Amino acid sequence: MPEPLRPRRRLMQPSVIPGFGLAFGYMLTCLGLIVLLPLAALVARASGLGLSGIWEVATDPRVAAALKVSFGISILAALTASTFGFLVAWVLTRYDFPGRRVVDAVVDLPFALPTAVAGIALASLYAPNGLVGAQLAKLGIQAAYTPLGIYIAMVFIGLPFAVRTVQPLIVEIDREIEEASATLGADRLHTLTRVILPPLIPAVLTGFALAFARGVGEYGSIIFIAGNLPYVSEIAPLLIVIKLSEFDYKGACAIAVIMLAISFATLLAINLIQAWSRRRFGYV
């Protein structure tokens, strides 16, 4: 018999399962060395600036513009990804059509395809002499090397998050509720907006937040297709790289800390959405 673990005075509930010390210790060591220590180095470097220093960097017109580009476009892209993600999830779970399984697998492509590969592919596709870009050019639209290009890349990487968060919930919807709604005289649109959609909102929001977080931080797929023009199509992560090339560690750290705060805030928002959903609908 393994000896039972010494109870850790209310910090931990006693358990007969062994290995807590090893597993927990190993986990904490890795987490500390790989994630927390380096992040602490960043925060330490940035704290040298003080809040006022960070604010100064953040309000520098070029930095502010880059943050605005990153935020604004990733919100738009996350909205698009959520909308089409919902549509794709709905079609995949509700309608039967040939090749459904393949289409389902394709949704995860942006997870698996390296961002740099996606970047050069999107750039050559949407450039004015590319396959899609040439068609857009006829309409007088230029996609690559403009904010529109950033938007396209962000939709690309955000889509799977939007699909995969709502899809399992659509599967779970109790069909009888829909039928009951229909029997009680609601038309289909009414049933959709009043009965089906409300419980899905937390999942849609979570998908939106994930797509947003990924979009704000994305680098590889965007730099090839964005014009990288200050004030117009320069994203915040690129500005970090540029600040580094200018030996401006202070500026790079300040932008990085701002981006880190955004990541935290997004994670927090997701947790809040899920807590709210648990209270409101009884599940996540």
Partner 1 sequence: MSEAAALPRVSPQPAVATEGRPVRWVLTALAIGFLALFLVLPLITVFAQAFAKGWDAYRAAFDEPDARSAIRLTLTVAAIAVPFNLVFGVAASWAIAKFEFVGKNLLVTLIDLPFSVSPVVSGLIYVLLFGAQGLLGPWLLANDIQIIFALPGIVLATIFVTFPFVARQLIPLMQEQGNAEEEAALTLGASGWHVFRTVTLPNIRWALLYSVLLCNARAMGEFGAVAVVSGHIRGLTNTIPLHVEILYNEYNFVASFAVASVLASLALVTLVIKSGLEWRYSDELAAGARRH
Partner 2 sequence: MIPFNDRTGRRARAVLATCLLAATLGAGQARAQTELLNVSYDPTRELYKELNAAFVEDWKAKTGETITVRVSHGGSGSQARTVIDGVPADVVTLGIPSDIDAIARISKKIPEDWRAKLPNAGLPYVSTVVFLVRKGNPKGIKDWGDLVKPDVAVITPNPKTSAGGRWNFLAAWGYAYERDGKSAEKANAFVGQLYKQVPVLDTGARGSTVTFAQRGLGDVLPTWENEAYLVFEEFGRDKFDVVVPPTSIYAEPPVALVDANVDKKGTRKAAEAYLQFLYSDRAQALFAKHRYRPSRPEAARKEDLAFLPEVKLFKIEDLQGSWDDIQKRNFDSGGLFDQLSKAPGR
Task: Kindly identify the residues of this chain, within the stretch 171-210, that bind partner 1 according to CB under 8 A.
Answer: 171-172, 175, 178-179, 182-183, 188, 191, 203, 206
Determine which residue in the list 113, 220, 230, 266 makes contact with partner 2, applying CB under 8 A. 230
**d(C-alpha 151, C-alpha 77), whole Å:** 6
In the complex, minimum distance from the CB of residue 152 to partner 1, in angstroms, rounded to a whole number: 8
Give the closest residue to 127 by CA, choosing from 148, 147, 142.
Answer: 142
Site for partner 2 contains 193 (CB under 8 A): no
Number of residues that bind partner 1 (CB under 8 A): 116
**d(C-alpha 127, C-alpha 150), whole Å:** 13
Site for partner 2 contains 32 (CB under 8 A): no
- Give me the 43-82 binding string for partner 2, x by CB under 8 A, dash otherwise: -----------------xxx--x-----------------
Give the closest residue to 170 by CA, choosing from 203, 206, 124, 194.
Answer: 203
Residue 202: CB partners within 8 Å, gap ≥ 6? Answer: 273, 274, 276, 277, 280, 281, 284
Site for partner 2 contains 228 (CB under 8 A): yes
Helix axis angle for 147-172 and 197-217, nearest 10°, is 150
**d(C-alpha 20, C-alpha 18), whole Å:** 6
Determine which residue in the list 6, 11, 51, 129 makes contact with partner 1, applying CB under 8 A. 11
**Of the two residues 124 and 142, which places its CB atom closer to partner 1 in the complex?**
124
Enumerate residues 249-278 that contact partner 2 by CB under 8 A.
251
How many C-beta atoms surround the C-beta of residue 161 within 10 A?
25
Give the closest residue to 198 by CA, choosing from 167, 169, 165, 176.
Answer: 169
Determine which residue in the list 64, 106, 229, 272 makes contact with partner 1, applying CB under 8 A. 106
**Of the two residues 142 and 274, which places its CB atom closer to partner 2 in the complex?**
142
Determine which residue in the list 49, 75, 244, 269 makes contact with partner 2, applying CB under 8 A. 244
In the complex, minimum distance from the CB of residue 142 to partner 2, in angstroms, rounded to a whole number: 9
Asked whether the beta carbons of 53 and 134 are under 8 A apart, the reply is no
Assigned token pair, 149: 């290009």
In the complex, minimum distance from the CB of residue 8 to partner 2, in angstroms, rounded to a whole number: 10
Site for partner 1 contains 88 (CB under 8 A): yes
Assigned token pair, 253: 């750290």
61 binds, among partner 1, partner 2, none (CB under 5 to 8 A by kind): partner 2
Residue with tokens 């476009």: 73
- What is residue 6's three-state secondary structure? coil
Residue 102 dihedral angles phi and psi, to the nearest 5°: -65, -45
What spatial distance separates the first Cα and last Cα of the chain, rounded to whole Å? 39
Site for partner 1 contains 95 (CB under 8 A): yes
- Give me the 126-165 binding string for partner 2, x by CB under 8 A, dash otherwise: -xxx--------------xx--------------------
Residue with tokens 């790079």: 252
List contacts with partner 2 (CB under 8 A). Answer: 1-3, 5-6, 18-22, 25-26, 29, 33, 60-62, 65, 123, 127-129, 144-145, 223, 227-232, 234, 238, 241-242, 244-248, 251
